[in-house]
Amino acid sequence: MIIFLYGKDSYRKNSKLKEILFEYKQKHSKFTVESFDLSENGQFDELKDFIKSNSLFDDFKLGIIGGGSSLIPEDQKEYIILLKEILKYKELVLIISEDKAPNKDFKFLLEKPVQSQNFSALIGLGLNKFILEEANIRNLILDKKSRDLLAGFYKDDSWGLITELDKLSLLNPVRSRPAEGGAMGTLGRPASNGVNEKKITEEILKSHIDAFLPVDILSALNYLRNSGEIGERLRILEELLVKGGDPAMLFNFLSALVKSPAEKQKMADYDSAIKSGKLDYEEALADFIFSY
């Protein structure tokens, strides 16, 4: 049997892997697990030995494989033959984890009886749902603006997003709610079975922005905002975009950094224009640079 997990979202992919391992450990009293990184010398031979070997002490074996795309052409051909043979085995499971969808030679990994699942980067409603679910696990309540701020920065980095949610769960603002089926006590205090909840707003994120904004981006945006030279501000913006800075993320964090009422109003006006489709994020950033 083969389970194929692929896509760039390593956090969700790794969580699925842990879930599968837990399920198999629950089902099998005798259980052997080994991992193979085929990008390393000798690992392909070790995988072949693992598949061929049988032990009196094991009634079930599971192999976790990565790096198959890095094999040389000759080994890749043998690897394909080996995988197709594995589909006939019942007491051996291979979990293959890759960052990309398979090329034409490995398309069979997307077809039954292989069990495949795609973990591409989340966007839009999918990302929003993921943030809400993970926040709920940590007893965090995120308002829409704080969710948008986190989504804009961590849209391609679920590990980073989870790390920041973990940090936010350690912040001070706390309110209490009764546990499921519980009741509130006097003065709004929860009964003894209460669950602590932390309400995170955009203002709280702004006040803790240094805790989760990478230092180089923070410094660059602050320098951009304070520079008196248009050419220098343009240079900084171009550098941030060239290095992969997402325009939505840059806009959201720049909005969080501005201090004066006039700047705050300007960013709010840009936000309204973006949401109504009159501007995109890059146009808003460029206009901000030329506006002072």
| 73-87, 183-197, 257-271: range with highest mean pLDDT | 73-87
Q: Note the Cα 208 to chain centre separation in Å.
A: 21
In this predicted structure, what is the pLDDT of residue 20?
94
Which of 284-287's residues contact partners 24+ apart within 8 Å by CB, and which partners? 284/251, 285/237, 285/247, 285/250, 285/251, 285/254, 286/234, 286/237
User: Which of residues 270 and 183 earns the better pLDDT score?
Assistant: 270
Average of per-residue pLDDT across 1-10: 93
How much is the pTM?
Answer: 0.66
pLDDT at 213 over 70: no
CB hemisphere CA count around 120 (13 angstroms):
5
C-alpha dihedral sign at 136, 8, 103, 244: positive
pLDDT in tens, 145-203: 888 878 877 777 788 889 888 888 877 654 444 444 443 332 333 333 445 678 888 77
Contact criterion met (CB below 8 Å) for 164 and 212: yes
pLDDT at 56 over 70: no
pLDDT at 212 over 60: no
Q: What gap in Å lies between CA 16 and CA 3, rounded to an integer? A: 11
For the chain, what is the total number of helices (H) and then of strands (E)? 13, 8
In this predicted structure, what is the pLDDT of residue 232?
87
Task: Give 35's pLDDT tier (boundaries 50, 70, 90).
Answer: very high
pLDDT in tens, 15-30: 999 999 999 888 887 7
Q: What gap in Å lies between CA 30 and CA 268, rounded to an integer? A: 61
For the 124-210 domain, the top CATH level (class) is mainly alpha
The share of the chain scoring above pLDDT 90, in percent, equals: 35
Which of 226-229's residues contact partners 24+ apart within 8 Å by CB, and which partners? none
User: Which of residues 177 and 42 earns the better pLDDT score?
Assistant: 42
In this predicted structure, what is the pLDDT of residue 98?
94
The share of the chain scoring above pLDDT 70, in percent, equals: 84
Q: Which of 126-135, 162-171, 174-183, 216-225 has the lowest mean pLDDT?
A: 174-183
Beta strand 140-142 with 194-200: parallel, antiparallel or unpaired? parallel
Domain covering 2-118, topology? Rossmann fold (3.40.50)
CB hemisphere CA count around 292 (13 angstroms):
12
Q: Which of 30-44, 179-193, 234-248 has the lowest mean pLDDT?
A: 179-193
Q: What gap in Å lies between CA 152 and CA 119, rounded to an integer? A: 19
Task: Give 207's pLDDT tier (boundaries 50, 70, 90).
Answer: low
In this predicted structure, what is the pLDDT of residue 178?
46
pLDDT in tens, 92-125: 899 999 999 999 999 999 999 999 999 998 888 8
- Mean pLDDT of the chain, nearest integer: 82
Residue 94's SS3 state is strand
Structure tokens at 209: 């922005």
Instruction: Return the residue matching tokens 């308002």.
Output: 143
